[in-house]
Each structure stands twice: as structure tokens, then as C-alpha cells.
Amino acid sequence: MFELTSLELAKAIQEKKLTSVEAVSACLGAVEKLDEKINAFISFDPERALARAEEVQKKIDAGEKLSRLAGVPVAVKDNISTRNFKTTCASKMLEGFEPVYNATVIEKMEEAGLIIIGKLNMDEFGMGGSTETGFFGAAKNPWDYTRVTGGSSGGSAAAVSAGEIPLSLGSDTGGSIRQPCAFCGISGIKPTYGAVSRYGLVAYASSLEQIGPMGRNIEDCAALLEIISGRDNRDATCVLPEPFSFEAKFNKGIEGIKIGLPVNYFESGIEQGVREVVLKAAKQFQEAGAELIEFRMPYTEYMIPAYYIIASAEASSNLSRYDGVKYGFRSESAKTLNDVYRMSRNEGFGLEVKRRVMLGSFVLSSGYYDAYYKKASDARRLIKSAYEKLFQSFDMILSPVAPGTAYKLGENLDDPMKMYMGDIYTVSVNLAGLPAVSVPCGFDELGLPVGIQLIGNVFTEAKLINSAREYQRITDWHTRIPGNAL
């Protein structure tokens, strides 16, 4: 079963070659066998998952039309609300918290017949680039247990890469789907802002983040994106009128597609192994019929500062609700109301969350708002306008996902600026609200996965997915599995 893609697994269930209960049981067994080493899961509930699989199997047997992924097990990042199922954001602040409602994406997946088996590890509240900052410990890369998975959706990537689960959901605020996919050798989609409802996604930076799928290949991701996308009246920012439908748009090839290649992304700051592999992938797109056009990406010097100022400002606002009074962790040592606020946050939040909340509060303060937050917002508009102009010349842009491959656990924890610079190729996509896909494209000299991203204009997911699918048709990088996988 573990060699099957999600769509192949769903087809096998539909054709009665195996049952959903058997598929879920196999995944639960894989989690029990592997996760002590990988730490991809924060929580999972075997009894609940098996009971749900039995319900879905009865519907399949009765001939009910559910979806192309009916009966397939899936797991979700632990910042996506699941009713009566722990949702902790990998933080002591929410340890043991069980929401009373489901996120919209959870409702849609359950209606489509998917079975949620558990919640996946992450950086605390999504703040980090390596899935090391969470309260429940670091997730470990299945290609090398001594290395990071990338962040903040590292558990979502590691679980798929290791074969614990065929599909997962992550969230992407500045590269948090794409970077873990690149580090762990799997595929993922960061949708256009407004394509997928954020209702039930625990807020970190509301104007930047989107939920998206992660899987072994781009077709699996596309099938899941079809299910979770589309308008939601509970999220005013979700504006896609109807869910995506990609299947009929496949098999069109990439002949004549214009792909922009930002040459300044390959000049400095990028590891030699990554440069070589990504440029080779670009050449393969060209050989498949695409037109490759070199250009210089503007405003690169503003991307990281603008992103971290805006993200931290929104984080300081969103996380102000965690005060030890209404819900969440409350310090037992507090004696006064002021103690409750101060001590609960001090004990409940980790270092990286505190760092970003303090930075966000600073840039929003009356004396520094114009000097920092306003300028970051101006830079964001410049970056968005630059992309709009670029997409008058290109259908999409091809770039590395990250300047390096997965680094050693603990290597960058004491150097936040070095970790932040790992997002240099991804954050501008979120600032502009654009879609992007990440797919594996080879390995560096250490045998670690390298990923490329394809960036498109708003709501051009079909074009990106078709191009990524064509790339995966002519290469086999997405079929490679780590030696530690099932």
C-alpha cells in the first residue's frame, strides 16, 4: 500500500482491492513504528480514525459519490481547528486545547470522504523555519534524522516523506509549505490568497497565510486542493467563487509556456549544489517545450525585512488574545491580574514567539509605526506591483525554494537572522498573495533533496499544476523515498 499515491490508493478502495479501514490501519501502524524517531505527529486517535473509516467505507459500498480521494487517510497541521480533537499550535499556551468547531477545510475533507488520523508537528504558532521551536520537540527529516524538516509545516512534510500518511495539510505564511516540501523531497501547493478558507486556521499573520496540500506528487496535491478550495461565507477574504477543477486541464503539455528565471537568485547566497540542480531543472523545462527567459527580480533587498515586519506586527495583534484569562495556559504562580497576563505569556510562549511578538509590538508602536510598519507596507505594494508587471511577460517564474538543503538540528536556532534568510525566495509570494507550487528536482552532494518552485499570477493554479505535472512526467525525483521511509 505504501508505494501507492493517494489517487491510486483511492482507486484501489473504490475497486474493492482494499478497504478504507485497511488503509487507515496501515497508516496508524506506520505512525506507531516510525514516529518515535521522526516526531511528525503531535497527536493521533486510532479509535476515532478507524470508526470514521468504517463510516466512509459503508458510504463507498453503498455507491455514494464522495470524491476522487474518498477513503484516503490524511493528517493536518496542528494549527487547523478540529472539533473535540487537540489543536495546540505546538505551544504550551494551548496544550490540551480541544476546539468546539471544525475548520472549513476539515468540514470539506470529511464531506469528501477523507479520514483524518491526527495532528502534525510544527513551529510554535507557525513561527520558525525548521519545526524546532515547538513545545513538543523538533520534527526530524526522514532523509537524515540529524537534520531539520524545514518549517513551519515540517511535521506535515516529514509524515508524507516517511510514508506515515499519503497526504497532509499545512499552512504557508512565508514559505511554510514549500520549504518543508523541498527539504523532505515531496510536493506541495501554496494557493492564491483567498482560494482556500482560513476559517478555523489559528491566526498568526492573517494577511499572509493560506492552507494548502502536501503529497508525494503534484496530482495528489491538486486533487486535495480541489476539495478544500472555494468560497466560504465565514471567511470574508475567501473569494474564489467555485472550487478549483484541474483534471480536465491536465495533459496539455508546456509547449510555448514562458517561464521567467530570476538570474540574481543564483548569484550569491545560494549553495552550489542547489544552484546546479535547479538550473538543470530549468533546462529540462526548456527541453520539454517551455521558453526560458532570464530577468532580474527587483526589490529583493526589501523582501525579508518587509515580510518579517508585517508578519510580526500581525502576530503581536493576533496573539494578544492569549492572556491567561479567557482560555489557554494560565500560570499557577500568578497572584494578581497583572501577574496572570505577564507570567502566563512568559511561561506559555516559547522564545521565537516572544521575539516576534515583541518585534511586532515595537513596529506598531506610535513612535515607530511610520518608520517601520508603514514602510514595510509600502515595500509590499512595490513587490506586488513588480509581480503584476512581470506576469505581463511570463506565464510563471521558476526559482529555488531555499538557498540550501536541510541543515543540522540546532544549527541555526541561535542565529535567527540566518534562519530568516532561508525564506528569501518564498516570502515575496505571500506578500503579493500569489500561488506557487514546490516539487522535488534532485539532490545535492550530500544526498539531500532539493526543490524548485513555480510562481504564478493570482488564481493560475491550473497552469502551475499542469507544468509541474509535466515535469514530474519526464522526471522521477518525486518517486524517490528516503531510506528511513516505509
| Catalytic residue annotation | 77, 152, 176
Residues 6+ apart with CB under 8 A from 137: 39, 121
For the chain, first and last CA: distance in Å?
Answer: 10
Core vs surface per residue 147-175: b (16+ CB within 10 A) or e? bbbbbbbbbbbbbbbbbbbbbbbbbbbbb
Q: What residue has cell string 524546532?
A: 132
Q: Residue 389: helix, strand or coil by DSSP?
A: helix
Q: DSSP letter string over 317-382?
A: HHGGG-SSSSSS---TT--SHHHHHHHHHHHHS-HHHHHHHHHHHHHHSTTTIIIIIHHHHHHHHH
Nearest CA to 168 out of 223, 213, 217, 225 is that of: 213
Whole-number CA gyration radius for the chain:
21
Nearest CA to 157 out of 129, 128, 183 is that of: 183
Task: Give whole-number Cα distances, 394 to 188, 246, 287, in Å.
Answer: 22, 21, 17
Q: How many residues does the chain have?
A: 486
* C-alpha–C-alpha distance, residues 384 and 427, integer Å: 12
Residues 6+ apart with CB under 8 A from 476: none
